[in-house]
Structure 1
Amino acid sequence: MRQPNQRRNGQRRKSGPDNIQKFTVPQAGPLLEVAGAILKDHTPTKVKSMLRHNQLAVNGTPSTQYNRPVQAGDELWVNYDGSFRIFSHPKIKIVYQDDDIMVIDKGYGMLSTAAGRSKDETVFSVLRDYVKQGNEHAHIYVVHRLDRDTSGLMLLARTAKARDKMVNNWNKMVPERKYEAIVEGIVHSDKGHVINYLRNADNYEVLSSDDPELGGEKATTHYYTLERGNRNTHMLLWLHVGHKNQLRVHMKDLGHPISGDRKYGGHSNAIHRLALHATHITCVHPVTGETMHFDSPMPAEFKKLL
């Protein structure tokens, strides 16, 4: 769910090739009720027709569900020229989009971008094709990545200007990213951190060392114990810049590899996937300067591992 800072109620602006108007929602409620309150110059019958014909969207995501929850501060998009294009993919859910950024919830088992000569479908290839359906000159830019087997929230840019601002000011523009994981064994400390140096090896693995003379980038992972089960531990993990496989390597270094992570010391795989999910992103919008918060709940199947 998006939790933005409040903007001026009733703000309206036009965007894109269609006649799309965007309104900041002043008060929470079901979609039909919210749309009726904002579109006061339309009859209730007309608003219902627009909902039925996919002409309404919340934060860029079309919906025909009359009782879909809408929060104060969300954006109601109205397409007066016709139906919104519906995006549907089994491993990608669009959480939020506007003219400058997009936030998605990625499923596990999908690469963010192509690796080497791989022909596998990626987040980038799917979303590139999607945005070009409406405008052949549109672009999508990956500004950070999730591992193939990690699920959860990803932030992307829709313009080169937005991409450059985020990438060149990463810690300021994306001050917080949090993950939840189930790690093997019982972690006895309530909180702590792992700090060492990470470097890429020739076999596509990431190696860690406490000795900076061996090379690599300094990396810090903070952790907090959320719940201890009979066999494993539910952890909250967060980082700032991030290195490839950082959380996975650091949990191995802690002595508690992530469940399902055979690459980095895991021994169990009860749910047949890596038990790591990106649950939260805080970002500063590269154009409006608005601080935005996005959350994605940890998959319910993770709880089976405790």
Structure 2
Amino acid sequence: MKASASNRQTRESAAKVFPVTEPAELLPFLLKNVTNAGRNSIKSMLSRGQIAVNGKPETAYNYQLQTGQTVTLSKEKVIEAPPLIGLSILHEDEHLLVVVKDAGLLSIASDKETDLTAYRQLTAHVRADGNEFNRIFVVHRLDRDTSGVMMFAKSEEVQQLLQNSWQETVKERTYVALVEGMLKKPEGTISSWLKESKTLKMYSSHYPNDGLHAVTHYKVIQSNRNFSLLEVSLETGRKNQIRVHMEDIGHPIVNDKKYGSKSRAINRLGLHARVLSFVHPKTGALLRFETEIPKMFLNPFREGFTAK
């Protein structure tokens, strides 16, 4: 145990991390924060690749830093974070990561796949400064075939703060869903009690209080006789909630064979987590992240569209 603690101290002393609290150019930021090194020394560190922004080496003096980024100063050349596959970072600070995940990428490992996951890639990302003790922690998940915004914590403390106050902390969690058919009502609410079958499929129970209560609100964005594009907001966050509720009302999500879809109008599941807004568990700031509607979700509403 003593040897492990000693190794950790050695690694931590070898790299210094400075959070960016306001926009600034990189060189002036370093001159202000690195008090034990002169201008020429800092320029040399930049040229040698010892300075990283969010884990990626940066050599430009005038690189424009943004609030929420982290600058790492290492005694050795910074190990560049491996490229992210099916994943991009929207926000990173010392407490959490907000990312957008592509459809087809697992959030965390399953029995069948342990390598290419959002969790594994982001773990490698936060360890790119050479500190093998850096970790990330799962806050919530997206299904493998669902794309969109999700969040990870950088400490167990922040993970617990977010999970224990999720209903109060999350101010907006909005999806877009491409579903089969034209809905009769332009907006509505679906409420049921969800259970999981022996085959791991979620379903709505016919009996009140039998399972986990789930509430989904929807609003039609665009529709024709074959398809509808919906804005969907969650009052609760149950497993497969939107997919079950869309099947319940007779408008399953496109390409969701598990939950009743017969259409393959697009070559992926028609569900995307578009907006995530929450109160930062440490700073108290209200953060909001919004992504574009996937372009292929709009294809069924274009003139001349034919489903394959």
Same fold (TM over 0.5): yes
Q: Answer whether contact 2:55 2:72 (CA < 8 A) is retained.
A: no
Q: Deviations over 1:202-254 (max 9, x none)?
A: 111111124126x2111000111111245311111111331111000111112
Q: Answer whether contact 2:70 2:93 (CA < 8 A) is retained.
A: no
Displacement after TM superposition at 1:273 (Å): 0.6
> Which of residues 162, 165, 177 is equivalent to 1:166?
162
> Which of residues 179, 186, 190 is equivalent to 1:190?
186
Between the aligned partners of 1:16 and 1:211, the Cα distance in structure 2 is 59
> Which of residues 278, 283, 286 is equivalent to 1:283?
278
Matched residue, 1:35: 25
Q: Deviations over 1:46-79 (max 9, x none)?
A: 99x959969564xx4759799xx989x7335444
Q: How many corresponding residue pairs?
A: 276
Task: Say whether 1:138 aligns with 2:128.
Answer: no
SS of match in other structure, 1:94: strand
- Aligned-partner residue type, residue 251 of structure 1: M
Equivalent residues in 2 for 1:113-128 (5 A)?
113-116=108-111, 118-119=113-114, 121-128=116-123
Displacement after TM superposition at 1:125 (Å): 2.5
* CA distance 1:281–1:65, shift in 2 (3 Å): farther
Matched residue, 2:16: 19
Q: Answer whether contact 1:51 1:63 (CA < 8 A) is retained.
A: no
Between the aligned partners of 2:289 and 2:232, the Cα distance in structure 1 is 16
* CA distance 1:52–1:186, shift in 2 (3 Å): farther
Q: What RMSD in Å do the two structures reach over aligned CA positions?
A: 3.2
- Aligned-partner residue type, residue 202 of structure 2: V
Between the aligned partners of 2:177 and 2:14, the Cα distance in structure 1 is 42
Q: Deviations over 1:144-166 (max 9, x none)?
A: 11011001111111101001111
Equivalent residues in 2 for 1:61-210 (5 A)?
62=56, 74-81=67-74, 85-116=80-111, 118-119=113-114, 121-133=116-128, 134-210=130-206
Structure 2, unaligned runs of 5 or more? 1-11, 33-38, 302-308
Displacement after TM superposition at 1:37 (Å): 10
Higher RCO (CA < 8 A, seq sep 6+): 1
SS of match in other structure, 1:75: coil
**Kindly, what percent of the aligned residue pairs are identical?**
32
Structure 1, unaligned runs of 5 or more? 1-14, 27-33
- Aligned-partner residue type, residue 143 of structure 2: D
Does 152-161 or 278-287 show the bigger shift? 278-287
Q: Answer whether contact 2:26 2:64 (CA < 8 A) is retained.
A: no
* CA distance 1:22–1:114, shift in 2 (3 Å): closer
* CA distance 1:25–1:131, shift in 2 (3 Å): closer
